[in-house]
Copies of this chain bind each other. A is one copy, B any other.
């Protein structure tokens, strides 16, 4: 098979990302046998029906003989899971993950990863606000960046392992980038972690005002709020682990955000319209850069049609 990089892979954790890898391999190749496991019995049962691959009885059993092992669990669970499977990993196998934080993950997974196994932490910049085995789909990684943060090792075997894993993600449609783990964590703190924290926060603030405004927060959410609730629908446990494991970069970025917000607040209080316009115009510039880089389309979307629009009465 042209598109077969690994004879056998194991995916532990069959949520949005784990199940998407399985669907994607089925659609695009990259591996022969796919073995699955999830510690949650409900997820296991659902995945056995919906996700292409063989559901195993334990994580250890799933990883036995696998050329590559993908740990797709919340970042805070990766250390313990690595310990659980370490005795069952095949010498020469690749061990990777899909966590949104990389420094803490490198440390946690390194602690019990056997020396004979190639640990290459990874992070696909892809996702939806959905979670669980039913949320995965084959095209999730198409055109998305996949960041690998290899350890400091330049043995020929390790280099080959990085190349093989990169090829696998390329087959699934991703664009692979290598990056230092600390740099990854700083970049993602602003491009992903802070936006999620802010979205969660604004929704919580509105929630507390909800009783005051008699359901009107929900009713008139199309004015901008709606888009924040979408981001804030992401998995709570996954995000708790992200914030607790990228504490330094998140707090630093949050500090900058709060300083900037205080300046805007002051401009509003003192009616400094020029300062507001200047700031708002800068924001347009970065939007333009994102569209030019092909990361988003320029189609209007904020005024997303409500389901009612289809059937005016």
Contacts and interface: CB of A to CB of B under 8 A. Distances in A.
B287 A269 contact: no
Given A302-B230, A306-B144, A198 B188 contact: no
Contacts of A41: none
13 contacts: A143-B306, A143-B312, A144-B306, A191-B221, A201-B261, A203-B283, A208-B256, A224-B231, A226-B290, A231-B302, A239-B276, A244-B271, A297-B307
B218 A290 contact: yes
A156 interface: no
B277 A207 contact: no
A145 interface: yes
A247 interface: yes
Contact of A145 (B222, B244, B279, B290): B222
Contacts of A257: 201-202, 205
B223 A191 contact: yes
A192 interface: yes
Contacts of A254: 261, 265, 268
A279 B188 CA distance: 21
Contacts of A204: 260, 279, 282-283
Interface string A232-272: 11101101110110010011011011101100110011010
A220 B251 CA distance: 19
B225 A300 contact: no
Interface stretch (A43-51, A104-112, A120-128): A120-128
A230 B142 CA distance: 22
